[in-house]
Structure 1
Amino acid sequence: MKTPLETIEFFLANTTNPDVITSIVDSEATYISLNFNNPELQKILPWTGTHHEGAKGFIDTFAGVNAFWSIQDFEVRDIFSEGEKVAVFGSFTYTSRTLDKEVTSPFSILAKVKNGKIYHFMFMEDTFATAGTFRVTPAGTFHSDPKGSEFEV
């Protein structure tokens, strides 16, 4: 049986293979994609949020990513484990298929593996940047600095 770290490395090498995903993801696994629940972001990236449907959440997420973007690069920079937990840090470069906009984003993963099966997986990235590859008009007016003024993005 693979260690938790080896299981996650195997998963990352096979994210587009439903048979592999089904074989290493627990049937009740939780997949948290980018946020817990953000309906606005889900309009742009439909797979986001918390999924409790085992391998289906993983398969749907990676199918969606591959349908919405072409992937130029996905680089794991650091990966380490402690017990059942595996942490992964890296970056990726994607180009949106609709607008041909490229983005490079850092990512992080916290995964939990027991008995060779992934039962928890949280994937984080710069969603402002990645969702921006689908932006047709300005993002809007913002006012973040309490001492500053509004600005357009």
Structure 2
Amino acid sequence: MPPSPLEITQDFLSKAFDPALVADAADRLVAEDAEYVSLNFDNPPLQRLMPWAGASKGRQAFVYTFTNVMTRWNLEGFEYTDTLGDDRGAAVFGTFTLRSVRLGKAATSPFAVVSRVHDGRITYMQYMEDTFATALTFRSGGAWTIEADPDTDERIEV
């Protein structure tokens, strides 16, 4: 019996955060014309911090994303809290902890991954995380002043 879409997705994710393994995993498990959505569809300010953010096409987009993630952070933990799958795809939920290489700051974030699989290969993957938390691991000084509540003049310094 061939592996299920959930097993294929988990197999890829188990190797994605290792720069020595991600290219081989993509070759075996990702369709050549697959689409990858990282964090959002298009956000130029976020792409300045995380150049892989956005929608991209091709197997190399998967390799590019995870290779670059691992140049900026060290993965300290990655675990599943829930998984779902059927014959067309999978959803994987969990938490991870990353520590920024440059500043040594850590963040723990929930994540959600959805994938579509056809003929034993991932054809679409979307990866979501708490980008506010992970971006804060790059903050080296200064404050972000946030005004979110329309009913007050409260300013929050982060």
TM-score, scaled to structure 2 = 0.92
Please say if 1:36 is aligned against 2:41.
yes
**How far 1:13 sits from its partner (Å)?**
1.6
Instruction: Say whether the 8 Å CA contact 1:138–1:152 is kept in structure 2.
Output: no
4+ residue runs of structure 1 moved beyond 4 angstroms?
none
How many Å separate the matches in 1 of 2:10 and 2:133?
26
**How far 1:138 sits from its partner (Å)?**
3.5
**How far 1:22 sits from its partner (Å)?**
1.3
What does 1:1-153 align with in structure 2 at a 5 Å threshold? 1-15=2-16, 16=18, 17=21, 18-52=23-57, 54-149=58-153, 150-153=155-158
Q: Percent identity?
A: 41
**How far 1:2 sits from its partner (Å)?**
1.6
Change (3 A) 1:88 1:95: same
How many Å separate the matches in 1 of 2:77 and 2:142?
27
How many Å separate the matches in 2 of 1:132 and 1:86?
30
How many Å separate the matches in 2 of 1:82 and 1:29?
19
How many Å separate the matches in 1 of 2:64 and 2:28?
15
Instruction: Say whether the 8 Å CA contact 2:4–2:87 is kept in structure 1.
Output: no
| Aligned length, in residue pairs | 152
Instruction: Say whether the 8 Å CA contact 2:112–2:129 is kept in structure 1.
Output: yes
Secondary structure of 2:3's aligned partner:
coil
Instruction: Say whether the 8 Å CA contact 1:69–1:95 is kept in structure 2.
Output: yes
How many Å separate the matches in 1 of 2:85 and 2:151?
43
Q: Which amino acid aligns with 1:6?
A: E
How many Å separate the matches in 2 of 1:71 and 1:9?
16
How many Å separate the matches in 1 of 2:12 and 2:150?
44
